[in-house]
Chain A
Amino acid sequence: MRRREGEETVASRTITLNINGEERNVMVRNADTLLYTLRGKLGLSGSKPGCLNGDCGACTVNVDGWPMKSCLMLAVEAEGKKVMTIEGLRNAPIQQAFVKEFAFQCGYCTPGFIMNCHALLEQHPNADDKTIKEWLESNICRCTSYIEIEKAVKSVLRGHSGGS
């Protein structure tokens, strides 16, 4: 028996998600995470699976301006909210800063890290060291030393000169 997506049941349905400013209709299982839906149904593969357990932060997106691990959220929970993924971020200062400071190597954690940084810049444009640490310890980067990321973030935060 085939049971492909497309069939409405008590366990699945079509929802409308606001992703990067666009309304997208998508058929999901209620049990599908937002991450799975973004990648598997909407072709937005910038958000990366790293643990599916809320531990690594590689799948971080912004939901209503706050960072969210998209593996910890059901797609159905995102209905009515504004979701922004790395694909929705174009030429943001934090992206330029990551390039300039060599704040990535393999690049796999980078979209999630950038989305977390972006939310931080929006919510706390004057963040101090303690706040930066509290926010950024949510993501794992296995390649860099974090010093590069710290420099990148501080170079776009107000009140920091760009160095550590």
Chain B
Amino acid sequence: MDVIGKSVIRKEAADKVTGRAKYTNDFQSIEMLSCKMVISPYGHAKIVNIDTSKAWKVPGVIAIIAGKRYPLTGEAIRDRPPIAVDKVRYHGEPVALVVAETPSQAKTAADLIKVQYELLPVVNSPAQAFQKDAPLVHERLGEYKLEADSYPVPGTNIATHYKIRKGNMEKGWSESETVVEASFSFAPSDHAAMETRCATAEIVPDGNIMITTSSQAPFMVKRLIADYFGEDMGKIIVRTPLVGGAYGGKASVQLEVLAYLASKEVGGRPVKLLNTREEDIITSACHIGLDATVKLGVDRSGKIRAAEIRYLWDGGAYSDKAVDVSRSGAVDCTGPYDVENLWCDSYCMYTNHPYAAPFRGFSHSELSFAIERTMDLLAQKLNMDPFELRYINAIQPGDTTPTRVKLNKSNVGNLRKCIEKVKELFKWEEGAIKEIDDRFIRVKGVSCSWKTSTIDTDAPSGVILTFNRDGSINLMSGVVEIGTGTKTILAQILAERMRMDVDNIHVRMEVDTQTTPEHWKTVASRGTFMGGRAVLRAAEDAINQLKEIAACALRAPKDDLEVANSRVFLRDDPSIGLHFKDICYGFKYPNGQTIGQQVIGRGSYILRHLTHLDPETGAGKPGPEWTVAAYGVEIEFDKRDYTYRLIKACTVVDVGNVMNEKAAEGQVMGAMSMGLAFAGRETFYFDELGRVLNPQLRTYRPLRYGENPEYLVGFVKTPQLDGPYGARGLGEHGLMGMPGALGNALSIASGVSLHHLPLIPELIWRAKEAVK
């Protein structure tokens, strides 16, 4: 392999280090108006009155939208008014929009809109939401329009209930000698991408609706706006330039709808809506919270015989993507272990919290915290090495998943190899605990994870290749460049297949739904897999066309031709051949006659054999393959203060194949960094009114330079036979094991079992005080 695996410099590198890379908010024109939201200051309240009279007097104000009823929006369940009417259901919910000439005018006017509220009782956790007498977040849950695969329960706060019923529970428990049960919980948190979400909209006189948005799902924006408001889908043109970090948070569709409504209100003039950081944290979709109870039973040898699991996901005020997250949580509910007898209830709950978007790992970092902490409790009770317990229960080819997919050598990675490699990298043989002195101790905690990507069963990815007259190729894919470098990797895949210099491949960074073939959404670590497969097919198509023209020009049979170095040539005599530049627009004979035509390669891909899940048992095929990983986190713990430093974090993931080494390591290390921040510090703090008390980056704190540990990354390469060059998903896995591994390390170090996130010193102090 010439290009695959190499640390090819990213195609957009020069733009990004010179400040010339453009993101949605960087596009500004003189005629563009500014839109500002008025947001709810409360978690749950009736809107009694909205007074816009003072706001209208602010110079430059062109429109104010408040109290207007629009069609309900939402993905699995249409439960969300784009702008709140009657009542607000979360702190930060949009209540009104102001459109003005400048941002400061819009802000001044928005501040002058006086909304009168009447407070309603607040549902402040999914466990509270689940109680019989809990206040209802949605009184008319039974009347909402639904997508397939969502099962709301009217009269409750249950947005959806997924069930996994596998094997025989009675048998499982009777075979279990040791049983542990534990509960875990954590509040919602945030993605905190550095680029706050932004959308612009303009409706031009011919009816085209032009939207530019910082989104992972521009094609979804098009479909949803058409669907919500009855617009012609072909008239909606969504453009997405570079995106400044997403992590799942930009897969939700929200600001695009508001910008569209604002533009409509001002006769189609261009309008920009840019989240402030505070709005980005609370108004737009956040990272889901969870209340979990896990009960595991093992036989004498440590093999899991039974598992009973309940997940109450904090979907927030609107179900949006939280329904899918809850479904994904059910699908992989056990973690990467073989469990024959399994009972799992995964509930997507409504609360009065900001609503949830996907978050890197899509339910897996969250459920892993519960599962992996329980695994450690079990190991402790069995007096067994925690890796050993995981090793003997590791999921393997021949086992079935919770939804009864039979695993084989290709559709699941090799977890045991991952565990072995982590042990080596992490010097496990030196022991998990090292006393430094009577106050400080170094402790290693471990965990494992797995994940399949539960995406729509008909999710497409498409690629178009066009040629320039010098024989270089333009690659157009609907994958959004959100920072993962996938566009560069697609170029590498193309270069590898065409056996050509990757520098002669030009990548279109921007996505435009009118001219770029659809890639469903840039989520779920599917960019390389699906986009890569589409690239391979497009390459095949282009090669075929090039060979056809060359065969004619060279008067040689097509199947005697090879392609490499931007040439088509005879297999047995490479000196006889033609450069792409001489054939990619047809071959022209000296007399001017031309044969063939412009070569345009096309390729597309849809995952095969995915199905819906059976509503009663969960049986079905939710995703194409399972990537597995094993982890370790080492901390230095202060037994007096309960403070700690992160020393090392290690991930070994079975990636199938490495496409771009530095990019792959960067993905894994960056994900670990985000996972440690989520595990160790990031959370929303709510008050009794459901208000988020820390909606700024000085109070909501991602990891900073120097707080990070040393990172160790290892790869196992069990090829996924369907993946491009064997590759599996990669972008999320570094994150998923961090909360579990950190929680395990700290539980060992402190001598108390820790059940909540974030793992701040005060939490440990509190747990210690409780057992004093």
Contacts and interface: CB of A to CB of B under 8 A. Distances in A.
Check whether chain A touches chain B (CB < 8 angstroms): yes
Interface residues of A, number: 60
A95 B59 contact: no
Interface string B682-716: 00000000000000111000111111101100000
Given A99-B9, A107-B242, A142-B674, A50 B194 contact: yes
- Residue from A58, A90, A146 having most chain B Cβ neighbours under 10 A: A146
B483 A105 contact: yes
Given A99-B13, A106-B483, A51 B245 contact: no
A67 interface: no
Nearest to A148: B666
A1 B194 contact: no
Interface stretch (B23-31, B35-43, B292-300, B722-730): B23-31
Interface in B1-20: 7, 9-10, 12-20
B620 interface: no
B16 A104 contact: yes
Contact of A111 (B19, B482, B673): B19
A99 B242 contact: no
A44 B18 CA distance: 11
B7 A47 contact: no
A108 B663 CA distance: 17
A106 B246 CA distance: 9
Nearest to B9: A99
Contacts of A101: 662
Contacts of A29: 104
Interface residues of B, number: 63
A39 B26 CA distance: 8
Contacts of B59: 1-3
A85 interface: yes
A133 interface: yes
B12 A144 contact: no
B673 A145 contact: yes
Interface string A85-98: 11101100001101
Contact of B483 (A1, A3, A107, A137): A107
A102 B194 contact: no
Contacts of A147: 669, 708, 710-711
B550 interface: no
Contacts of B26: 39, 45
B22 interface: yes
Given A86-B19, A87-B19, A110-B17, A50 B706 contact: no
Given A51-B277, A86-B18, A146-B708, A140 B662 contact: no
A51 B193 CA distance: 11
B244 interface: yes
A54 to B, nearest CB: 8
B195 A143 contact: no
Nearest to A140: B702
A157 interface: no
B705 A56 contact: no
A53 interface: yes
A30 B7 CA distance: 48
Interface string A54-67: 11101000000000
Interface string B59-70: 110000000000
Interface string A130-142: 0001001101111
Contacts of B696: 51, 53, 55
B193 A142 contact: yes
Nearest to B707: A137
A83 interface: no
Nearest to A47: B19
A108 B672 CA distance: 19
A21 interface: no
Nearest to A99: B13
Given A51-B696, A106-B482, A142-B245, A40 B670 contact: no
B708 A49 contact: no
B101 A46 contact: no
A12 B479 CA distance: 44
Contacts of B193: 106, 108, 142
Nearest to B672: A145
Contacts of B705: 133, 136-137, 139, 141, 146, 149-150
Given A107-B21, A145-B672, A136 B706 contact: yes
A72 B710 CA distance: 33
Nearest to B243: A106
Contact of A46 (B19, B104, B194): B19
B292 to A, nearest CB: 26
B289 interface: no
Contacts of A39: 26, 28
Given A2-B60, A46-B19, A144-B673, A58 B194 contact: yes
B196 A50 contact: yes
Given A53-B696, A110-B16, A145 B670 contact: yes
Contacts of A139: 705
B317 to A, nearest CB: 24
B277 A108 contact: no
A159 B672 CA distance: 29
A107 B7 contact: no
A154 interface: no
B484 interface: yes
A87 B83 CA distance: 39
A56 B697 contact: yes
Interface of B: 7, 9-10, 12-23, 25-26, 28, 59-60, 101-102, 104-105, 192-196, 242-247, 274, 276-277, 482-485, 662-663, 666-667, 669-670, 672-674, 696-698, 702-708, 710-711
19 contacts: A46-B20, A49-B25, A51-B697, A52-B277, A55-B277, A89-B19, A99-B9, A105-B245, A105-B670, A106-B193, A106-B482, A108-B244, A110-B21, A137-B705, A140-B192, A143-B483, A145-B708, A147-B710, A147-B711
Closest 5 CB pairs of A and B: A46-B19, A106-B483, A108-B244, A86-B19, A107-B16
Given A50-B277, A85-B19, 9 more contacts: A53-B696, A54-B698, A55-B696, A89-B18, A95-B17, A136-B705, A139-B705, A144-B669, A146-B708
